[in-house]
Every structure is written in C-alpha cells, then in structure tokens.
Amino acid sequence: MKWILLLCLVDSLGLGWAVPLESLEKFTLDFFPNNSTLLAATLSTSFLVNIPKCVSSSKFSPSKVRIAVAQLPDGTTPTGVTDTEEIQNIRKTPQATIYFAGEFKSVPCTAARDLVVMDMDDSQYELITILGFQVGAEFCRQTKGPFCNQALKPSTFYRVNFFLLDDKSEIRGHTDWSPTIQTRSVKNYDSADVAFGGRAGGMVVITILVSIGGFVLVIALIAAVVLSNKK
C-alpha cells in the first residue's frame, strides 16, 4: 500500500503539481530601467517590461521564460501568491486576475555576450535597439496556444513576474513580482491608444536607424542618374 501511495506521489509531481515560490531560485531584474523612456511609457491597455536577457544558474539550465501577470485592487496590495498553482490560465478561467500571459525561449548567456545590444550615436548615424515584453498585446478570441496575453484594463494596477523553466519545462526559478504599474485612464474609447498593436506574443523589437551618410548617398545617386541622362 505504501508503495502505491509513493508511486502516486511521484506521478503527481511529474504532472506539475503546485511548486511553492519559496523553493524556487530567485533572480534580480530591473523591470523598468531608468535609462529607457520606452519601457517607462504606459498605455491604457498595455505596457512594456524589461526581460531577462541572460540567466545563469548553478542549479539548472534555463530554457524558457514564462511571464505571470497579477491584477491588483490598488498600488500597495501584494499579489499574495505563494505557489504556482495560484497562477491560472485565462484560456480555462477567463476572469482570472493572476495568470500566465506567455512563454518564450531563454537567451543563453553565451549569446547575450555575443549579441550585444548597441546604442551608437555619432555624426554619421544613430542606432538604438530596445527589446522588451509587451504585457497586454492580444485578444484571446483571435489567438491560439496555451497562454493568452490579453489586453489590460484601463486605470488598473498590475505586477508581473518572470518564471524560469528548465529543459524539461519545469519551473525552477523566478524574478519576484515587479513594482506596481498602473495603466492609463481612458475617457473616450474611440481615441484609446493603439501603440504597439498587433505584436503577437508580446515580444517587441524597435529599431530606429537615422543615417545622414545614407541620405547624402541617395542624393548623389539621383544626381548621377540625371547627369547621365542629359549626356
């Protein structure tokens, strides 16, 4: 009888029963860097957060990152989540206030060292690359998959938390809950913001390239074509 109970317990753990947050490895993350004006911008139905670009652990190899979103009654209330079972799936529970919004592959530290984010600015050109996760990027009825990154409610408080999964898709770590962020209030829904719309999965990459040298080159090319036609 004891062997049967033990086998049932092992089988239950394999199916992914609740994992207490205190037993997970905790990582530090600056969700809203001060030097990023884009990540500091808040819309009425979405906002951007910084993502873990490189996570190193001696206990496991991070393979995926899963983001949890918590809707709160005010800006000071903690989430109250003590284990992963309290984080629901809005595909099954549409009214859930604490849910997993999405999942993406973790960036290996070797790749993070090789693929450096560049912020270059000189007299010739300016290149700015910003990578973040857009919380509130989807309408569930229009998307498929295990998770839904549903549009947020205006004038509402939220916190987010990134959970780290190993190569067996088991949750092994997390970043703790972010500071509270409040979405903008909208009085006229006809004029509600639509910035960053249509970004499936929430990953947002914005690249701005301003090249004075390129502009001059185009002008020179046009002038060459005009002169050659006159001959």
The answer as to whether 121 is a domain residue is no
The answer as to whether 224 is a domain residue is no
Instruction: Give the residue from 33, 99, 94 showing the smallest Cα distance to 66.
Output: 99
Enumerate the β-bridge partners of residue 100: 68
The answer as to whether 168 is a domain residue is yes
The answer as to whether 9 is a domain residue is no
Instruction: Give the rounded percent of residues in the chain with a pLDDT score beyond 90.
Output: 52
The answer as to whether 45 is a domain residue is yes
**Can you give the residue range of the structural domain that contains 140?**
18-114+133-197
Tokens of 122: 């000189």
When computed from its CA atoms, the radius of gyration of the chain, rounded to whole angstroms, is: 23
Contact 156, 46 (CB under 8 A): no
The answer as to whether 26 is a domain residue is yes
Contact 66, 102 (CB under 8 A): yes
Enumerate the β-bridge partners of residue 206: 130
The answer as to whether 174 is a domain residue is yes
Contact 155, 185 (CB under 8 A): yes
Distances in Å between the alpha carbon of 54 and those of 13, 29, 117, 175?
28, 10, 12, 12
Q: Tell me if the pTM is above 0.75.
A: no
What is the tally of structural domains in the chain? Answer: 1
CATH label of the domain that carries residue 153: 2.60.40.10
The answer as to whether 167 is a domain residue is yes
Q: Which of the pair, 213 or 35, is modelled with greater confidence?
A: 35
Tens of pLDDT, residue by residue over 19-74, are: 999 999 999 999 998 877 878 888 999 999 999 888 889 999 999 999 999 999 99
